[in-house]
Amino acid sequence: MTSGHNPMFRFLFVIPFALPFFLIASGASAQRQGHDACARDVSRFCRAVMNDGDSVVLACLKQHRGRLSRACDRVLTENGQ
């Protein structure tokens, strides 16, 4: 299966390693927690831009900051976003 067939596939395997706030987090466990915390929010609010690059997804999350889950908001805050 290639990432070109399913945008969610790309998100699930690229975003946790590419977004700056995930790179800042130390260790694989922190990366996984950051991904888990924001996956639903990205799917909900940023699905239309998931293939536009990681910085665009991060900007989208910030744009919807007031509507994000507490867990995702906490991950962003803890990583200076």
13 part of a folded domain: yes
Q: Is 2 inside any structural domain?
A: no
Instruction: Classify residue 49: in a domain, yes or no.
Output: yes
Q: Is residue 1 part of a domain?
A: no
Alpha-carbon gap, residue 20 to 3, rounded angstroms:
21
Q: pLDDT band for position 40 (50/70/90)?
A: very high
Comparing 77 with 6, which gets the higher pLDDT? 77
Residue 54 lies in a domain: yes
The answer to whether position 43 is within a domain reads yes
Q: How confident is the model at residue 60 (pLDDT cuts 50, 70, 90)?
A: very high
| Distance (Å, whole) CA 81 – CA 74 | 10
DSSP at 67: G
Q: How far is CA 62 from the centre of its chain?
A: 11
Q: In which domain, by residue range, is 13 found?
A: 7-78
CB 54 within 8 A of CB 15: yes
| pTM, 2 dp | 0.61
Distance CA(10)–CA(21), nearest Å, equals 18
